[in-house]
Amino acid sequence: MLRSGLIQLTGVAVISIVLAIALPHSFFEDWGWLSGPSAWVVCSLITATALRLPLGMTMVGAILAGLPSLLAVIVGLHWLGALLAIVLFALWCGRLEPRRDVPAPA
């Protein structure tokens, strides 16, 4: 559970920093509704791969964990929502069994 939360947190932080440096603030005003969830899904795929979690169930958890984050964005608490989503995602991933038929990433 802790590892999945740390991997997701790191991924979200790195992507957020890179996008904030590379793109103007106006991009996020216009395209944040697409770039945020897309980055979240990419980070979730990285987490699933790194921990050999089943991709389908991990994506279900990512979507469910992201819903409270959406509510937080609506009320103006974007980063608090992101942290809540990471915690919920980590709890979800903690319930999943790693796939034994997939080799560990190098």
13-69 residue pLDDT tens: 999 999 999 999 999 999 999 999 999 999 999 999 999 999 999 999 999 999 999
Please count the other Cβ atoms lying within 10 Å of the Cβ belonging to residue 58.
21
Distance from C-alpha of 54 to C-alpha of 98, rounded to nearest angstrom: 7
- Supply the pLDDT for residue 24: 97
- Supply the pLDDT for residue 6: 97
pTM over 0.75: yes
- Supply the pLDDT for residue 100: 82
Residue 105 pLDDT exceeds 80: no
Residue 93, C-beta contacts closer than 8 angstroms, at least 6 positions apart:
1, 4, 5, 47, 48, 51, 53, 58, 61
Residue 106 pLDDT exceeds 70: no
In single-letter form, the type of residue at position 9 comes to: L
Distance from C-alpha of 24 to C-alpha of 32, rounded to nearest angstrom: 11
Is the separation of the CB atoms in 50 and 11 below 8 Å? no
Distance from C-alpha of 17 to C-alpha of 100, rounded to nearest angstrom: 34
